[in-house]
Amino acid sequence: MADSVSGCVKRIVDKSPFIHEMLINGILSFSNYASSIQDEVQKAYGKEVKASAIVMALRRYAEELRKGSYKKQVGNVEYGIVMKTNIFDLNLVRRDSFISKLGVLYGQISTEKGDFLNITLGSHEVSLAVSEKYRSLVGELAKDEEVLHQMDDLVALSLVFTGDFLQTPGIVYEAVRHLAWEQINVIEIVSTMNELTFVIKREDSMKAFDVLQGFLSAN
């Protein structure tokens, strides 16, 4: 059972970027939305919950969001946006046999020539986002491995920051939230000290570029 009705309501709201945004901007009908999620709240809470209690929880959460960290200023952060196209993404079962071969791929990649490579090692899986021209090499390296999923025709949008990026909480969250609001699916997120990269479908690339530029410019 959840600790409180408020906690249940927050979790439900946070699952929907659309509802989250409406709550922040004060355009959500508390009574109508409370009625629509009453069954879900009761299931999560483990006992009967009145609609009026849900409305009260929604009001409190809306006030908390407006006063809190969701209206942050980016501050002294400056940025540029870099787009790289012709990327494919490959997911495999993590095995030492494959990891030991990655040095071959690293040896071929030239970031100075604009190549893109990101490798994420999970506990059970390995994910690679690589420039298309290395497809045959990756295919050779992965020929005896268990491939879980592959996506083609992707784009990497990188936000390159200077200034107080690491000291400015909320930038990553806000960027992801704005993309979700526009129904842009993020395939991978890569974060380093001064860069934040989103791997997305090519068909979403220009829309995503405008969304991210608009979000950062507004701050």
Considering the entire predicted model, what is its pTM?
0.67
Cα–Cα distance measured from residue 121 to residue 111, given in angstroms and rounded to the nearest whole number: 20
Strand 147-162 vs strand 117-121: parallel, antiparallel, or unpaired?
A: unpaired
What is the CA 78 to chain-centroid distance, rounded?
A: 21
| Cα atoms in the 13 Å half-sphere on the side-chain side of 142 | 21
Residues 6+ apart with CB under 8 A from 85: 155, 202, 205
Percentage of residues in the chain having pLDDT higher than 90: 61
> With the CA atoms of 101, 102, 106 and 107 taken in that order, what torsion angle do they form, in degrees rounded to the nearest 10?
-10
Average pLDDT over residues 187-208: 92
Cα four-point dihedral sign 96, 97, 103, 109: negative
pLDDT given at position 174: 79
Number of Cβ within 10 Å of residue 169's Cβ equals 10
- In the CATH scheme, what is the homologous superfamily, with its name and number, of domain 78-218? VC0802-like (3.30.2130.10)
State pLDDT tens for residues 101-149: 999 999 999 988 889 999 999 999 999 999 999 999 999 999 999 999 9
Q: At what angle do helices 5-14 and 30-45 cross, to 10 degrees?
A: 110
Cα–Cα distance measured from residue 17 to residue 140, given in angstroms and rounded to the nearest whole number: 41
| pLDDT interval class at 72 (50, 70, 90) | very low
Query: Residue 75: is its pLDDT beyond 70?
Result: no
pLDDT given at position 218: 61
Radius of gyration of the chain (CA): 21
pLDDT given at position 181: 82
* The two three-digit tokens of residue 19, written as one number: 């509802």
What is the CA 88 to chain-centroid distance, rounded?
A: 18
State pLDDT tens for residues 156-194: 999 888 766 666 667 787 788 889 888 999 999 998 888
Query: Residue 215: is its pLDDT beyond 90?
Result: no
Nearest CA-CA partner of 30 in 11, 48, 7, 53: 53
State pLDDT tens for residues 3-44: 799 999 999 998 887 787 788 778 889 999 999 999 999 999
Residue that is written with structure tokens 């980016």 in the block: 74
pLDDT given at position 120: 93
pLDDT given at position 24: 79
Cα four-point dihedral sign 115, 116, 122, 127: negative
Could you tell me the residue ranges of all domains in the chain? 5-71, 78-218
Helix segments in the chain, DSSP class H: 5-14, 17-25, 30-45, 51-67, 96-99, 102-108, 135-141, 171-181, 205-218
